[in-house]
A and B are shown apart, each in its own frame.
Chain A
């Protein structure tokens, strides 16, 4: 698709405007939501979708978690399929069901159709992780789930605002099915309000540029991304590349669960086939279609970070999902952990397959996989609470060509934030004692992964805690010869006679007042041969207390003269030569 120069400029202005709209949606949610999971963790994403008479397209997103916003494509489609001939001005829709374009039950998607012309409809959209949606387990991560009904309230496409008026009985129903109705009501209003802001901005754009120019521009923007990705893929060697990653377990007694990828590069297209992956599992690690597609797209977008991400990006990618498989289950398979497990394993598997295609582009895009939810009654406030503390899961980044793993989320949860621990101490009866990098835990590589985090908190009240841990046996992958990251594990009631180390899961374990909870949260893998790491970088890590003298020698072949606080160049050269010859 080619445009005149002035139209190109208009298209670029509109592309940036739409991304700004997403930023404004995001800011609206952040400033008006109530729950820390929105306001502090930023576990929500905003985007603008578009229907121009053909297929629904993602046009823009910002501060977005990929698994949220990519899967929302299916959500918009679901709403359109359900209400195609029955959409009014100022309607707002909600859909949450994992099997209707969702991922897991707590991820709620709010969609507001904004018709500019009969066949030109924009959809400001917010998908957010609601802190509790009923079901058997507070916080909805039910390690004992064997069916989706054991994971929370399911919501098909419903119209929660009709012609600008709240549909009261639906709101009543929704709020009756959460343990935190006041917070969830506020979060829902924030999401709806944000979409209203989106509507205003889109109408302003339409008014300023006209519907025809808007339509032409978004068509161009989408085709531009497609063209760019096709050009990138053409640089990749044609061929068939396979890789199998394993999940530690499925939380139902099955272990070493395979995710198999066959990636074929052919001309300017890529196909990703999951044939050979496990069938759908008993435990809550099944990944519905939208979730699986999102993880694939996440991996490939991470390879090409300078291409604008919209539906055009997805067009050269074909994904084949075997039916009744872990990556394309059918109801009632439980799916509660899918965004992390197997989501991150899917990303790792795609990345490892891509490692054979474009090694300098790959690295950990997946997220660490240790998580927990706690719940109880805060004795200071008398309020029931469900804790969505993500502080033990933060440092997922691995090494990439040219850079070490950094202290932040990896691509898959790139929009999430670490809250100030002091704020969490206000919200929840926690007292944080430790949250720091642990020595000798970074995955070795020419560019190492981020170190693992060690985390410890004390409980100011009695509470119960469910832990759903993965990546203990198979930590996040390393690339191009880099090592895997450190594994994840937890210790509950640390130091007490009934201390328990958790490498898989525990369910509603009591944590008495004063008890301690410890976690090791491993990060992403290293990139490249660790013996090729710049010795000065190893010295810096030693000075930063990230690597010990022993590990510097063992993992990197670097000998450090501790007295001089310098690399012993001769001894290092000798050590590396010896290791290379071995």
Chain B
């Protein structure tokens, strides 16, 4: 299955002429991803899956496919679309970044926004296929709210195709069960057990855009005999700047930071089940609607990694553990996407996408 999702993600990425940050996953019938092409995003994908499957409940039938881009139910940002497709023996997931979904600015990075609606339209769970048949009404609604409706339709078509292939593969096999999740949690618990019991606190300042407040990410790490707890409840309150990390995105950051810092901690779906994490409702790390989220995957993610890395090293994680994981991975994506002077989508990137839309790519 791991090979399958890697291949699906690669195919999805190559199916569209923009950097899509494509993701593919195979999940169980409850909508939990079990095998994810980029496990660092498994927690947020799980949040999207959980929302979609619980929203539709028993009505979510094989062949149904729903789009979700709501930052507060799994997406990191409004241009981050997940397609969840129910199949007979599990759930197929694909996720990609679509070029635009309205709002103030092309590409959804709108630092002048008051709230999430300034960054673009929200679709918590919208059916785009019913029993395998396209539901044009749903896709028309999404496309009308994009400056690049042709690219959006192209992207969604690629997602449906990829999800369809995954669904076929899932249904050709046996019922997916949650064994991979349990295994990852057990491995993670063992890795955490090697840390020194105690309570550790750390903080990191979010590198803010000029003129914005510089909020703090604060983490309290409690390693007990039976359970590890992480709390971000002391972090700064969410602010009117695009730095707010929704809870699911914070969990993504936690997973990647733990995996990069704690020896043996698996970068895998289910690993976070080994500990309790409180993102801190209403804070910069547990943002609630209508917070603006556009730059959280960069600025705030970096601070979460720094704070958590510091706390973990204080608890005995090796000092040599990769403290620059975020510097090398996250910031590279940031630099490709964001114009540091304006904090909007890079002009050349926007121009290319507009040109592609104008040409009406086939």
Cβ-defined contact, B144 with A154, below 8 A: yes
Query: Smallest CB-CB separation from A83: which chain B residue?
Result: B137
Is the beta-carbon distance between B56 and A177 smaller than 8 angstroms? no
A153: chain B residues within 8 A (beta carbon): 102, 117, 121, 145
Q: Are the CB atoms of B126 and A169 closer together than 8 Å?
A: yes
Residue A439 CB within 8 A of the other chain: no
Using Cβ atoms and an 8 Å threshold, which residues of chain A touch B77?
none
- Decide yes or no whether A147 CB sits under 8 A from chain B: yes
B110-137 contact mask (Cβ, 8 Å, vs A): 1 or 0: 1001110110011111110000000001
B1-17 toward A: CB 8 Å interface, digit per residue (1/0)?
Answer: 00000000000000000
Indicate if B33 sits at the interface (CB-CB under 8 A): no
In whole angstroms, how far apart are the Cα atoms of A169 and B70 in the complex? Answer: 13
B361 proximal to A (CB < 8 A): no
B334: chain A residues within 8 A (beta carbon)? none
Partner of B126, one of A136, A149, A173: A173
User: Is residue A172 within 8 Å, beta carbon to beta carbon, of the partner chain?
Assistant: yes
Contact call B103/A159, Cβ cutoff below 8 A:
no
27 contacts between A and B (CB under 8 A): A134-B117, A136-B103, A136-B104, A136-B110, A136-B117, A138-B114, A138-B115, A149-B147, A153-B102, A153-B117, A153-B121, A156-B140, A156-B144, A169-B56, A169-B127, A169-B138, A170-B126, A172-B125, A172-B126, A173-B126, A173-B141, A176-B70, A176-B124, A177-B122, A179-B115, A179-B290, A332-B147
Q: Within the complex, what minimum Cβ distance (angstroms) separates A145 from chain B? A: 9
Contact across chains for B144 and A155 when beta carbons are under 8 A apart: yes
* B66 sits at the interface (CB 8 A): yes
Does A307 lie at the interface of the complex (its beta carbon under 8 Å from any beta carbon of B)? no
Give the distance in Å from the alpha carbon of A136 to the alpha carbon of B102 in the complex. Answer: 9
Inter-chain contacts of B137 with A (CB < 8 A): 158-159, 170
Closest 5 pairs between A and B when the two form their complex, measured CB to CB: A149-B102, A134-B117, A136-B118, A136-B104, A176-B122
Interface contact B141-A169, CB-CB below 8 Å: no
List of B residues within 8 angstroms of A150 by Cβ: 102-104
Do most interface residues of chain B lie in helix, strand or loop, or is the interface mixed?
loop
Residues of A with C-beta under 8 A to B122:
134, 173, 176-177
Residues on A with C-beta less than 8 A from B110 are 136
With the chains together, A168 CA to B144 CA distance in Å?
A: 20
- The answer on a CB contact under 8 Å between B144 and A177 is no
Q: Contact partner of B121 among A137, A169, A177, CB < 8 A? A: A177
Cβ contact within 8 Å between A173 and B123? yes
* 0 or 1 for each of A1-31: is its CB under 8 Å from B? (1 = yes): 0000000000000000000000000000000
Q: Tell me the number of A-to-B contacts counted with CB atoms below 8 Å.
A: 76
A557 contacts partner chain B, Cβ-Cβ < 8 Å: no
Least CB distance from B131 to A in Å reads 15
B residues 89-112 near A (Cβ < 8 Å) are 102-104, 110
CB distance from A75 to the nearest CB of B (A): 15
A179 in contact with B117 (CB, 8 Å): yes
Residue A135 CB within 8 A of the other chain: yes
Contact A154 B145 (CB under 8 A): yes
- Which A residues fall within an 8 A CB radius of B? 97, 134-138, 147, 149-150, 153-156, 158-159, 168-170, 172-173, 176-177, 179, 332, 508
Q: Is the CB of B124 within 8 A of A135?
A: no
In the bound assembly, the distance between CA atoms of A172 and B72 in angstroms comes to: 14
In the complex, the answer to whether B117 meets A155 with C-beta atoms within 8 Å is: no
Residue numbers in A under 8 Å from B103 (CB-CB): 135-136, 149-150
Measured between beta carbons, the chain A residues less than 8 angstroms from B55 are: 168-169, 172
B145–A176 CB distance below 8 A: no
Give the residues in chain A near B117, CB-CB below 8 Å.
Answer: 134-136, 153, 177, 179
Interface residues of B (CB under 8 A from A): 55-56, 66, 70, 102-104, 110, 113-115, 117-118, 121-127, 137-138, 140-141, 144-147, 290
Q: How far apart sit A155 and B121, CA to CA, in the bound complex (Å)?
A: 11
Majority secondary structure, A binding face: loop
Please give, as numbers and ranges, the residues of chain A lying within 8 Å of B138 by CB-CB distance: 169-170
Q: Closest approach, in angstroms, between the C-beta of A537 and any C-beta of chain B?
A: 50
Query: CA of A176 to CA of B55 in the docked complex: distance in angstroms?
Result: 14
- A79 CA / B56 CA spacing, docked (Å): 26
In the assembly, what is the distance between CA of A493 and CA of B136, in Å? Answer: 49
CA distance A147 to B56 in the complex (A): 34
Cβ-neighbour of B124 out of A97, A158, A173 (below 8 A): A173
**In the complex, what residues of A have CB within 8 A of residue B70's CB?**
176
B329 to chain A, nearest CB (A): 31
B13 CB to closest chain A CB, in angstroms? 26
Closest to B120 in A: A149
- B335 CB, min distance to chain A CBs, angstroms: 26
Q: How far is the CA of A150 from the CA of B122 in the complex (A)?
A: 14
- Kindly list chain B residues whose C-beta atoms are within 8 Å of the C-beta of A177: 117, 121-122
Closest residue on chain A to residue B143 by CB atoms:
A156
**CA gap between A533 and B346 in the complex, in Å:** 65
Q: How many angstroms between the C-alpha atoms of A158 and B141 in the bound complex?
A: 8
CA distance A137 to B113 in the complex (A): 8
In the complex formed, the residue of A with least CB distance to B70 is A176
The distance in angstroms between the C-alpha atoms of A177 and B124, with both chains bound, is: 10
Residues on the B chain within 8 Å of A134, using CB: 117, 121-122
Considering the complex, give the chain B residue whose CB is closest to the CB of A175. Answer: B124
B141: which A residues are within 8 A, CB to CB? 155-156, 158, 170, 173
Cα separation A137 to B103 with both chains bound (whole Å): 9
Chain B residues with CB under 8 Å of A154's CB are: 102, 144-145
Query: In the complex, A156→B66 CA distance in Å?
Result: 19
A134–B144 CA distance with the chains assembled, in angstroms? 14
Tell me which residues across on chain B come within 8 A of A158, comparing CB atoms: 137, 141
The distance from the CB of B100 to the nearest CB of chain A, in whole angstroms, is: 8
> Which residues of A lie under 8 Å from residue B56 when comparing CB positions?
169
Which of A135, A155, A159 has a CB less than 8 Å from the CB of B118? A135
Complex interface: chain B residues within 8 A of A168 (CB): 55
Which residues of chain A are near B114, meaning CB under 8 Å?
Answer: 136-138, 508
Q: In whole Å, how far is B116's beta carbon from the nearest beta carbon of chain A? A: 9
Chain B residues near A159: list those with CB within 8 A.
137
Distance in angstroms between the alpha carbons of A576 and B315 in the assembled complex? 96
Residues A135 and B123 in contact in the complex (CB < 8 Å), given A149-B147, A179-B290: no
Q: Which of chain B's residues have a CB closer than 8 A to the CB of A169?
A: 55-56, 66, 125-127, 138
CB proximity of B358 to chain A, nearest CB, Å: 13
Complex Cα–Cα for A178 and B94 (A): 27
Residues of the A chain whose Cβ atoms lie less than 8 Å from the Cβ of B115: 138, 179
Q: In the complex, what's the smallest C-beta–C-beta distance from B145 to chain A, in angstroms? A: 5
| A-chain residues with CB within 8 Å of residue B127 when the two chains form the complex | 169
Residue ID in chain A nearest B135 by CB atoms: A169
A97 and B102 CA atoms in complex are apart in Å by: 14
A303 to B349, CA, bound (A): 54
Q: How far is the CB of B48 from chain A (nearest CB, A)?
A: 14
Bound Cα distance A179, B117 (Å): 8
Given contacts A136-B117, A138-B114, A176-B70, contact A149 B124 (CB under 8 A): no
A348 to B246, CA, bound (A): 50
Q: Which residues of A contact B102 (CB under 8 A)?
A: 135, 149-150, 153-154
Additional 4 contacts, C-beta under 8 A, given A97-B144, A135-B102, A169-B56: A136-B113, A150-B104, A169-B125, A170-B141
Which residues of chain A come closer than 8 Å to B290, judged between CB atoms? 179
Q: Complex: how many Å from CA A149 to CA B100?
A: 10
List, in ascending order, chain B residues with CB within 8 A of A156's CB.
Answer: 140-141, 144
Name the A residues within 8 Å of B140 (CB-CB). 156
Taking each of A135, A136, A154, A508, which has the highest tally of chain B beta carbons within 10 Å of its own beta carbon? A136
Q: How far is the CA of A158 from the CA of B144 in the complex (A)?
A: 12
Q: A508 to chain B: which residues have CB within 8 Å?
A: 114
What's the Cα separation between A135 and B144 when bound, in Å? 13
A153, A176, A179 — which one has the most chain B CB atoms within 10 A of its CB? A176
Contacts of A332 in B (CB 8 A): 147
Q: Which residues of chain A come closer than 8 Å to B144, judged between CB atoms?
A: 97, 154-156
Chain B: which residue is nearest A148 at the CB level? B102
A136 to B290: give the CA distance in the assembly, Å: 12
A183 to chain B, nearest CB (A): 15
The closest CB in chain B to the CB of A172 belongs to B124
In the complex, what residue of chain A is closest to B136 when comparing beta carbons?
A: A82
Q: What's the nearest-Cβ distance from chain A to residue B299, in Å?
A: 21
